[in-house]
């Protein structure tokens, strides 16, 4: 067997494995979409194509007693505030670590990276005690305010991308009399749209899918986020045997993530690809 045949067989095996893995990952999504458009009587059928196509599940979803539109709105504005906070603070920190020369920069950046090894559950109790003392437990502030304190992952991601921007631009701007903030805002931020888009997608996805923190800080179902609401919604509808309505809620809950990803897909891939390159 020559090398061309070996390569062809290896490629064929790889494609078969990739297709098999894709079916495993995409299969449950297609089943969810199909069940969302089925009648309750057809919810246990094994066909992906609904025998009777209906949108009654979505109408019932917005008529239940858990205030689904309110939950959706809460998740939306909390995710947007979290994303904005991470983009601003992480970009400023990354700019300092990548461009500004100061004593101890390498040590501080190493210490920042070490914090990535600390699970979020470890800091949950101290943060809860702090927000309890200032009277913010029960509101949405503890869910988005920490995003404005920065983050190790976002700082690392943006710093790696900032290092790919030629320093000649900084030198030219300094000669023209530009301040550090002007260099950051008018040069580095516009040139870093791919990395910013990647960080925005990661942050928005994490905030939107977060269940633990909303459950701790905003446990009241009518005023909490969509993830917590769907968790209680699942118990209510499972007992009632309405899996079709539950799948409709799950479908609506993932639509913002799908839209955000496809809108910024090109910038996301470019930002991830270039963040590990250093010039």
Residues 190-240: tens digit of each pLDDT = 988 888 988 998 899 899 999 899 999 988 767 788 888 888 877 776 656
The pLDDT of residue 278 is: 47
Distance CA 104, CA 2 (A): 57
The pLDDT of residue 279 is: 46
Q: What is the largest CA-CA distance in the chain?
A: 73
Residues 5-25: tens digit of each pLDDT = 778 888 888 999 989 988 888
The pLDDT of residue 66 is: 66
The pLDDT of residue 82 is: 95
Question: For residue 226, which phi and psi values (nearest 5 degrees)?
Answer: -70, -35
Give the 3-state secondary structure of 213-262. HHHHHCCCHHHCCHHHHHHHHHHHHHHHCCHHHHHHHHHHHHHHHHHHHH
pLDDT at 63 over 50: yes
Among candidate residues 199, 188, 189, 198, the one with its CA nearest the CA of residue 266: 198
Domains and CATH numbers, the chain: 3-55 (no CATH), 59-274 (1.10.3720.10)
Indicate the SS3 state at residue 105: helix
The pLDDT of residue 272 is: 60
Distance CA 144, CA 86 (A): 10
Distance CA 31, CA 34 (A): 5
The pLDDT of residue 274 is: 57
pLDDT at 97 over 90: yes
The pLDDT of residue 240 is: 60
* Mean predicted lDDT score pLDDT of the chain: 85
């Amino acid at each position: 067997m020559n090398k061309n045949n070996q390569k062809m067989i290896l490629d064929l095996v790889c494609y078969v494995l990739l297709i098999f893995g894709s079916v495993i990952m995409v299969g449950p999504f297609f089943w969810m979409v199909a069940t969302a458009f089925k009648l309750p009587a057809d919810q246990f059928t094994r066909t992906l194509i609904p025998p009777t196509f209906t949108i009654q599940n979505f109408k019932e979803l917005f008529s239940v007693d858990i205030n689904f539109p309110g939950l959706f709105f809460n998740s939306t504005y909390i995710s947007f505030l979290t994303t904005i906070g991470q983009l601003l603070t992480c970009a400023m920190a990354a700019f300092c670590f990548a461009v500004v020369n100061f004593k101890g920069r390498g040590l501080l950046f190493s210490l920042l990276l070490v914090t990535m090894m600390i699970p979020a559950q470890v800091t949950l109790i101290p943060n809860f005690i702090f927000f309890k003392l200032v009277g913010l437990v029960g509101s949405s502030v503890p869910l988005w305010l920490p995003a404005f304190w920065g983050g190790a992952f976002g700082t690392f991601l943006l710093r790696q991308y900032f290092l790919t921007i030629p320093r000649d631009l900084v030198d030219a701007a300094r000669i023209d009399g530009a301040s550090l903030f002007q260099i950051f805002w008018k040069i580095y931020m516009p040139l870093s749209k791919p990395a910013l888009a990647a960080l925005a997608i990661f942050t928005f996805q994490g905030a939107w899918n977060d269940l633990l923190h909303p459950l701790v800080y905003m446990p009241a179902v009518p005023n909490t986020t969509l993830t917590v609401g769907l968790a209680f919604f699942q118990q209510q509808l499972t007992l009632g045997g309405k899996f079709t309505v539950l799948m409709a809620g799950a479908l609506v809950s993932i639509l913002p993530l799908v839209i955000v990803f496809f809108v910024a897909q090109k910038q996301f891939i470019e930002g991830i690809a270039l963040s590990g390159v250093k010039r």
